[in-house]
């Protein structure tokens, strides 16, 4: 006598929930579904076996992802002289299988427990992904399959590079089972990983001046984080005779390479954010993951590269963000070849930190251009006011409108002041990077 168990399900007639049972069998150890037999083992048969099987096959094809049709077989059997439909399900090779409208979540993924079909736990889902996709994070299927790519689309368009479904497959955003990988998640608006950036007063983490968390696509985070850091990369003006020489606190190429390395080489299987801290004398980039096995700090300094996320690196290479693998640390070192202070690297089992020294910081203070008497008078106005106008400068310094305009324009160029507004509403604030 046929009875319900882990590998057998009985249905009096066709119902929509049969697709859940198919998912449970294909995610577990396979099984058989009899349509036309009640759960009290009474055989009723089916009035129209062909029509019922058509409903089943259509439901499997349209409702289950990835494609489950290769692992299911539908047919008829005669039991007690009556025709019943039989759906045979094998264990799938691309688990977890899920309801297309629900995604890879407990409400969309089902498994078999005894004779029952139940939602899979998140731990069970992750184990299935690991078993079928391997340990590499970026190639595993994303738990979220409802991904959007506005930022990535715009970035690829700006670089004049196609980003259709064909390119997504080539770049490994879409796997062989036509589902989004974790690499796709990283480049989507739904990316769960962030960059946290903080600006501190002085050289210790005591007083916050500013902080921000960047979210969304890694490409969007990259652009926004670089722009934020650049605001604090001051230009110091020095004069040698009649020549003015502008010198930034940090080499822009060094910042760019350190930021790119922190994104490309991060261990995304951990949920911690990439941390960037800006101090008066340095910028620190702390990356989760440490070094890959078999790679030492000396290897990194020599330009040896073991990619934790080769497909992500491939995307960045395609976008011309990185020129060649393993050159990042060499470029950073070259940027500081003419400076006394050098980048400092610290390692732990699970983290990598690189500190870029401020090239304008000497003997415990920032080297600033000599200020004129009038410039010091203007800066003195901020002891009582948060912002000033041209008229404030004219009245305090007792100078003409034209002289005030030239003075303020020069202070903006020296990065001593920032402009806010325009026309009659134009005001000046002290530069936040000062």
Question: What secondary structure, in 3-state letters, does 180-239 show?
Answer: EEHHHHHHCCCCCCCEEEEEECCCCCCCEEEEEEECCCHHHHHHHHHHHHHHCCCEEEEE
The alpha carbon of residue 81 and the mean position of all alpha carbons in its chain are separated, in whole angstroms, by 60
pTM: 0.65
Which residues, in sequence order, are CB contacts of 56 under 8 Å at separation 6+? 14, 18, 35, 74, 85, 87
Q: What is the pLDDT of residue 289?
A: 78
Identify the pLDDT of residue 198.
95
3-state SS, residue 302? helix
Other C-beta atoms lying within 10 Å of the C-beta of residue 172: 19
C-alpha separations of 95 from 6, 14, 169, 181 in Å? 18, 25, 19, 13
DSSP 174: B
Name beta bridge partners: 10: 34
| Nearest of 357, 354, 360, 359 to residue 258 by alpha carbon | 354
State residue 213's pLDDT score.
95
22 near 89, Cβ under 8 Å? yes
Torsion over CA of 150, 153, 158 and 163, rounded to 10 degrees? 180
Q: For residue 39, how many other CB atoms are within 10 A of its CB? A: 12
Alpha carbon of residue 4 to chain centroid: 45
Residue 350, C-beta contacts closer than 8 angstroms, at least 6 positions apart: 267, 270, 288, 289, 290
In tens digits, the chain (434 residues) has pLDDT values of 678 899 999 999 999 999 999 999 999 999 999 999 998 889 999 988 899 999 999 999 999 988 899 899 999 999 988 999 999 999 988 889 999 888 888 999 999 999 999 999 988 988 888 777 666 789 888 888 899 999 999 999 999 999 999 999 999 999 887 889 999 999 999 999 999 999 998 888 888 888 999 999 999 999 999 999 998 888 776 655 556 666 789 999 999 999 999 999 898 988 789 999 999 999 999 988 777 666 776 766 666 667 789 999 999 999 999 876 667 788 898 999 888 889 998 888 788 899 999 988 865 556 555 567 788 888 888 888 889 999 999 999 999 998 999 999 988 887 888 898 888 889 999 876 55
**b/e sequence 313-340, b meaning 16+ C-beta within 10 Å:** bbbbebbebbeebeebbebbeebbeeee
Q: Residue holding tokens 């409802």?
A: 146
Alpha carbons 192 and 268: distance in angstroms, whole number: 10
pLDDT for 61 equals 93
Q: Which domains does the chain have, with CATH numbers?
A: 8-131 (3.30.950.30), 195-362 (3.30.565.60), 371-430 (1.10.10.10)
- The whole-angstrom separation of Cα 17 and Cα 251 is 61
């Amino acid at each position: 006598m046929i009875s319900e168990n882990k590998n057998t399900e009985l249905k009096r007639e066709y119902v929509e929930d049969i697709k859940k049972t198919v998912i449970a069998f294909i995610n577990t150890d396979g099984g058989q579904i009899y349509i036309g037999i009640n759960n009290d083992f009474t055989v009723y048969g089916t009035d129209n076996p062909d029509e019922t099987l058509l409903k089943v096959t259509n439901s499997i094809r349209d409702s289950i992802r990835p494609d489950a049709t290769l692992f299911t077989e539908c047919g008829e059997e005669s039991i007690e002289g009556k025709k019943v439909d039989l759906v045979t399900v094998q264990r799938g090779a691309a688990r977890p299988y899920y309801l297309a409208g629900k995604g890879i979540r407990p409400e969309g993924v089902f498994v078999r427990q005894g004779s029952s079909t139940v939602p899979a736990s998140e731990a069970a889902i992750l184990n299935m992904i690991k078993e079928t996709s391997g340990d590499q994070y970026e190639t595993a299927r994303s738990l979220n399959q409802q991904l959007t790519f506005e930022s990535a689309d715009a970035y690829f368009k700006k670089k004049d590079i196609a980003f259709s479904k064909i390119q997504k497959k080539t770049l490994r955003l879409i796997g062989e089972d036509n589902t989004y990988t974790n690499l796709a998640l990283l480049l989507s608006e739904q990316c769960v990983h962030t960059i946290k950036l903080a600006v501190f007063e002085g050289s210790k983490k005591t007083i916050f001046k500013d902080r921000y968390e960047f979210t969304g696509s890694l490409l969007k985070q990259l652009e926004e984080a670089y722009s934020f850091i650049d605001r604090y990369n001051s230009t110091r003006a020095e004069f040698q005779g009649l020549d003015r020489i502008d010198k930034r606190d940090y080499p822009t190429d060094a910042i760019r390479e350190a930021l790119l390395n922190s994104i490309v080489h991060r261990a995304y299987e951990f949920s911690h954010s990439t941390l960037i801290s800006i101090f008066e004398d340095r910028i620190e980039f702390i990356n989760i993951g440490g070094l890959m096995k078999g790679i030492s700090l000396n290897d990194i300094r020599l330009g040896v590269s073991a990619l934790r996320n080769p497909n992500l690196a491939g995307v960045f290479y395609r976008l011309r963000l990185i020129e060649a693998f393993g050159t990042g640390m060499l470029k950073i070192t070259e940027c500081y070849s003419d400076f006394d202070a050098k980048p400092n690297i610290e390692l732990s089992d699970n983290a990598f930190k690189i500190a870029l020294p401020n090239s304008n910081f000497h003997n415990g203070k920032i080297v600033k251009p000599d200020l004129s008497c009038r410039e010091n008078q203007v800066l003195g106005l901020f002891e009582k006011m948060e912002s000033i106008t041209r008229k404030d400068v004219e009245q305090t310094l007792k100078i003409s409108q034209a002289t005030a305009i030239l003075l303020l324009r020069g202070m903006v160029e020296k990065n001593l002041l920032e402009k806010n507004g325009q026309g009659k509403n134009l005001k000046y604030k002290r530069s936040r990077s000062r």
